[in-house]
């Protein structure tokens, strides 16, 4: 059975790629993922805010601190052996490249164009095989139009494409007015792939303390249907990698997304719940299903029920809404 697939110009052994998560912070965990069958791994994201906050701390407390006496300067903390967040991340890339044989995809979340470029170049030089642009922007500025937001993504891509030689995949939110149009514009701008979709974790309010509080809710399989729809619409109409992320828990989710046209499927919550070894059982079930249904390869399955090949193409659009509402029986 040929499970190989193409991802950002890389040939992968299969379409199961663990997404950015705490599991990729640890080399042993990544090794376990590789042993379970992971064909590549996306590292946990490096956040520019963390790097900047650490730089400010170093500047304030290690370099510009007034100890009060000239002789006391010799007691300043030694910084030669101090490892910053960016140092740790670059060391992790280096370690993973030495310890595992699968491609290592760095993930970056920036807030300034200069920060995106500086850190992206560092990740590239450290040996990352590709870069995930984990763009997380909440459009809370009421003076900023949807067109402004789209242009921000395109300008960022343009700035990075000019500097980087490694492939880039942009992780998108589902909140664009026209997802399909945005993807085609990113393709024209030189992106190598898109990952659909980034999960926007919603804050909550503690009704006792009246404070806004963060809440983490792991995904469910239901969430994967959003990516499935848009991948099915885009499949065969763009020539870039289509990666599915969010809500991929079972072999059925993987198979469904491959049918829609996904090149790879990213898993996170299911691995956090069940451990790295769980990936092996999902991969085994995917291979068994392909064999039972007389498919010779993932490539043969890919996109077989995309909008271009579906029996009822409009089911991916408005008619699905009407059919779902009419299907409910009280």
Range 43-68 average pLDDT: 67
**The dihedral sign for the CA sequence 17, 120, 228, 235:** negative
Is the model's pLDDT at 57 over the cut of 90?
A: no
> What pTM, to 2 d.p., does this model score?
0.88
pLDDT in tens, 253-281: 999 999 999 999 999 999 999 999 999 99
Report the domain count for the chain. 1
Tokens at residue 178, please?
């026209």
State how far the alpha carbon of 210 is from the alpha carbons of 74, 159, 201, 216, in Å. Answer: 47, 41, 19, 18
pLDDT in tens, 238-250: 999 999 999 999 9
Q: How far apart are CA 89 and CA 27, in angstroms?
A: 12
Q: Could you please report the per-residue DSSP string of 114-155?
A: HHHHHHHHHHHHHT-SEEEEE-------TT--HHHHHHHHHH
Query: Residues 69, 132: contact at Cβ < 8 Å?
Result: no
Residue 14 — pLDDT band, cuts 50, 70, 90? very high
Residue 37 sits in a domain whose CATH number is: 3.20.20.70
- Going by the DSSP 8-state scheme, the letter that residue 303 receives in this structure is T
pLDDT in tens, 139-185: 888 999 999 999 999 999 999 999 999 999 999 999 999 999 999 99
Residues in a beta bridge with 171: 134, 195
Q: Which domain holds residue 188?
A: 5-327
Residue spans of beta strands (DSSP E) within the chain: 5-7, 10-12, 16-18, 41-42, 46-47, 104-109, 130-134, 168-172, 193-196, 204-206, 211-213, 241-245, 264-267
Query: Residues 192, 165: contact at Cβ < 8 Å?
Result: no
């Amino acid at each position: 059975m040929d499970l190989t697939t193409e991802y950002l110009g890389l040939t992968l052994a299969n379409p199961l790629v663990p997404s950015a998560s705490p599991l990729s912070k640890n080399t042993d965990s990544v090794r376990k993922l590789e042993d379970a069958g992971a064909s590549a791994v996306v590292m946990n994201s490096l956040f520019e805010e963390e790097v900047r906050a650490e730089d400010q701390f170093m500047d304030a407390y290690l370099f510009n601190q007034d100890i009060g006496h000239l002789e006391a300067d010799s007691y300043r903390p030694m910084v030669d052996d101090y490892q910053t967040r960016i140092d740790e991340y670059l060391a992790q890339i280096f370690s993973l490249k030495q310890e595992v044989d699968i491609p290592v995809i760095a993930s970056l979340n920036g807030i300034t164009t200069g920060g995106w470029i500086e850190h992206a170049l560092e990740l590239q030089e450290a040996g990352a095989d590709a870069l995930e642009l984990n763009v997380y922007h909440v459009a809370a500025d009421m003076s900023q139009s949807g067109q402004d937001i789209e242009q921000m993504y395109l300008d960022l891509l343009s700035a990075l494409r000019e500097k980087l030689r490694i492939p880039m995949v942009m992780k998108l939110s589902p909140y664009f007015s026209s997802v399909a149009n945005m993807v085609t514009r990113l393709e024209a701008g030189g992106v190598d792939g898109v990952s659909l979709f980034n999960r926007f974790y919603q804050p909550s309010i503690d009704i006792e303390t009246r404070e806004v509080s963060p809440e983490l809710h792991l995904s469910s399989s239901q969430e994967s249907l959003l990516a499935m729809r848009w991948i099915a619409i885009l499949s065969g109409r763009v020539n870039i990698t289509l990666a599915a992320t969010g809500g991929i828990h079972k072999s059925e989710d993987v198979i469904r997304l491959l049918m829609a046209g996904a090149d790879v499927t990213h898993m996170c919550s299911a691995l956090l719940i069940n451990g790295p070894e769980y990936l092996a059982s999902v991969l085994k079930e995917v291979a068994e299903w392909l064999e039972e249904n007389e498919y010779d390869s993932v490539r043969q399955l890919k996109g077989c029920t995309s909008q271009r090949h579906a029996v009822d193409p409009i089911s991916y659009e408005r008619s699905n809404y009407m059919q779902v509402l009419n299907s409910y029986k009280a």
